[in-house]
Chains A and B, each alone.
Chain A
């Protein structure tokens, strides 16, 4: 495939490797292009279970593209071409027998801009549950309360579950979206710059939320905020121009990056 041929030699930077058994996601040789325009080049990395893995990198390097590949949101775009494999708990997500809807329930996603549906707060959280069906109202109410509590939103909205979700503030909306995703009990949660549109207080709330969720599921966080990555993530991957440059424990990567390119990016120097 000519679109995937790299302009420069593949970096052989330090790439952290995990035991297969401790990983929820295994990405192998993933390349992806929008038509003629490559966005990811031969990416190989593993995402550990019950940890927060951060993806950092300059704008346009392909972080969102990578996240969307993980729950097959690219299926909608007819011009996307891809190569390589992604395995969720050992199973190829691209395999014909995989139910896409089921996959997307297992790999939840929170987007950069809060996108609650134009319904009540309750209906937003119930959305995914209702799709699955087969749940009594009482049981559903319990799950919804649990999800809203997990997203640290319950106390703020418990009095007005019937109000439109669009009456919430931006930070509340984002937590609502997280609650909505948690309600279907995903195994992996993908967060694409979840706090980029929020004020510092809301950002802190979301970060705390991320740390608390770690015990229940695996998280992948995309962020432009170095401090945030350093604060909440356990492992960090640095991407540049669609390539994985360096991947290691957050501590190491931020205090002692192996590669010049990584150091320049982290310290804010132009390359």
Chain B
């Protein structure tokens, strides 16, 4: 084999090299893309060292270096620091001319606080004041850590109480008066107020590196870190926690912080719904075209039409979905079944169902073509073998032909998923939302809310990059979300490929004769 390849390489001139080169280039580009996304996106969650920078003029600032560039039209370079403290400084970014930096240090006591309002604080911790008294200096940091852990537990209990007790009770009361439920609700609310009171009351005294003091209610602090004092293991653990938060939490602060869980959920759910719709339709259409219909001019025309549909730009499908599904069918459904809530639409506006149907339409040709090709590859002598044993046409199809075609159908589904998961343009017309923290599945009847708007990773990227206030802060999230989108598609595809492999192993590969 290798000897033959060598001979071909010499006698065929540059072609094998060109072919191999282009394969290598594509692989390299793919690798570069993934590396870029991974480094930029995942690097964001690493607790980077905090520098204490002293300038020539005596000014001091604490921050994390983000990047450096040369000043236009000069030799000088400027470095961008993330300095946080929006409440003190008004801006969270600071440009520093590199030449003016007198000294840099990484003192261990510098803290980063992540706060619910005003974003991050970077500076020093002076004291923790609470019911337990005032802790200062060395004692403040461990006290803060302990108190934050307590708060976390209290917050957890409150949220659980709200979700597991209050919400069901409220729903029960909506259906009619119920004394027992009211009493229970009052008890739960009292407990929640108690927890709230427990959480409130502590304050932090903070000081920025340029000496400005600040008192900060502890309730609003989510996390506190001293990155310069952390060991690599601690950093790794923190990184893991941050990545997990990104994956499992909802977005905060107009999508510019927090996680992307609703978007992951929305993307996967929409793709699954789409597959559930498109696969049976596409497979049935393929079977009809290949096995049932009279093979004539008409089927030929239909085939050409189907293949051309695959080339229609996706936004056109979006327009179609808007016109037919949302306004047409959705509007009619609203008039018939949801008239009481008009003029606010129920199904007459974009939502999960219409988005899935639109994408199903978009990917239908792919599934039909794959199914047809699979059917065409089943040798005629297999069909005749079944018929000769007394099978009817339906039995022949279901017992011999379709099992042999199943891998091809799954290939069609894989292609459909790959195409659908990455589509954003049509979704903007038929149901994706910038912010929909409620995922479309919950404990509320009918559990799956097809009329709800949903979040989507692709649209989230677009929204972060173009609609956020602070592009500098959004970019790492854009990279991380893009990486996530690629991974989600990869996982969906791998699942389908695994299924196909399983089917192949069971029914055997098609013979080559």
Q: Which residues of A contact B (CB under 8 A)?
A: 71, 73, 76, 78, 101-102, 104-105, 108-109, 111, 113, 115-119, 127-128, 131-132, 164, 166, 177, 180-181, 184
Interface pair A115/B379, CB less than 8 Å apart: yes
Starting from the known contacts A101-B391, A128-B390, A184-B389, 9 additional A-B residue pairs (CB-CB under 8 Å) come to A104-B388, A111-B388, A113-B381, A117-B385, A118-B507, A127-B391, A128-B389, A131-B389, A184-B390
Nearest CB of chain B from residue A130's CB, rounded to whole Å: 8
Given contacts A101-B391, A117-B386, A128-B389, contact A164 B508 (CB under 8 A): yes
Within 8 Å CB of B391, what residues of A?
A: 101, 127, 131
Within B311-330, the residues touching A (CB, 8 Å) are: none
Query: Which of B384, B388, B508 makes the CB contact (< 8 A) with A108?
Result: B388
**11 contacting pairs across A/B (C-beta < 8 A):** A71-B388, A73-B388, A76-B387, A101-B391, A104-B388, A108-B389, A109-B384, A115-B379, A127-B399, A128-B390, A177-B385
Interface pair A104/B513, CB less than 8 Å apart: no
Nearest CB of chain B from residue A68's CB, rounded to whole Å: 9
Nearest CB of chain A from residue B404's CB, rounded to whole Å: 6
Within 8 Å CB of A113, what residues of B?
A: 381, 513
Report the Cα distance A111→B385, complex, angstroms: 8
Report the Cα distance A131→B392, complex, angstroms: 9
Query: Which of B379, B386, B508 makes the CB contact (< 8 A) with A166?
Result: B508
Within 8 Å CB of A105, what residues of B?
A: 389-390
Q: Which residue of B lies closest to A116 (CB)?
A: B385
Kindly supply a per-residue 1/0 record for chain B positions 226-246, scoring 1 wherever the CB is within 8 Å of any chain A CB and 0 otherwise.
Answer: 000000000000000000000
Interface pair A101/B392, CB less than 8 Å apart: yes
Within 8 Å CB of B385, what residues of A?
A: 111, 115-117, 177
Interface pair B389/A104, CB less than 8 Å apart: yes
Report the Cα distance A127→B513, complex, angstroms: 23
Interface pair A78/B390, CB less than 8 Å apart: no
Q: Which residues of B contact A (CB under 8 A)?
A: 294, 379, 381-382, 384-392, 395, 399-400, 403-404, 507-508, 510-511, 513
Within 8 Å CB of A71, what residues of B?
A: 388
Within 8 Å CB of B404, what residues of A?
A: 118
Interface pair A78/B294, CB less than 8 Å apart: yes
Query: Which of B384, B390, B399, B403 makes the CB contact (< 8 A) with A115?
Result: B384
Within 8 Å CB of B392, what residues of A?
A: 101
Within 8 Å CB of A119, what residues of B?
A: 507
Within 8 Å CB of A76, what residues of B?
A: 387
Within 8 Å CB of A109, what residues of B?
A: 384, 388
Q: Which residue of A lies closest to B391 (CB)?
A: A131
Nearest CB of chain B from residue A64's CB, rounded to whole Å: 11
Nearest CB of chain A from residue B386's CB, rounded to whole Å: 7
Nearest CB of chain A from residue B217's CB, rounded to whole Å: 70
Given contacts A115-B382, A118-B403, A118-B404, contact A180 B508 (CB under 8 A): no
Nearest CB of chain A from residue B246's CB, rounded to whole Å: 46
Q: Which residue of A lies closest to B381 (CB)?
A: A115
Within 8 Å CB of A184, what residues of B?
A: 389-390
Report the Cα distance A117→B508, complex, angstroms: 10
Report the Cα distance A214→B513, complex, angstroms: 32
Within 8 Å CB of A118, what residues of B?
A: 403-404, 507-508, 510
Interface pair A104/B390, CB less than 8 Å apart: yes
Q: Which residue of A lies closest to B403 (CB)?
A: A118
Q: Which residue of A lies closest to B295 (CB)?
A: A78
Report the Cα distance A128→B392, complex, angstroms: 11
Report the Cα distance A181→B510, complex, angstroms: 22
Query: Which of B390, B395, B400 makes the CB contact (< 8 A) with A117?
Result: B400
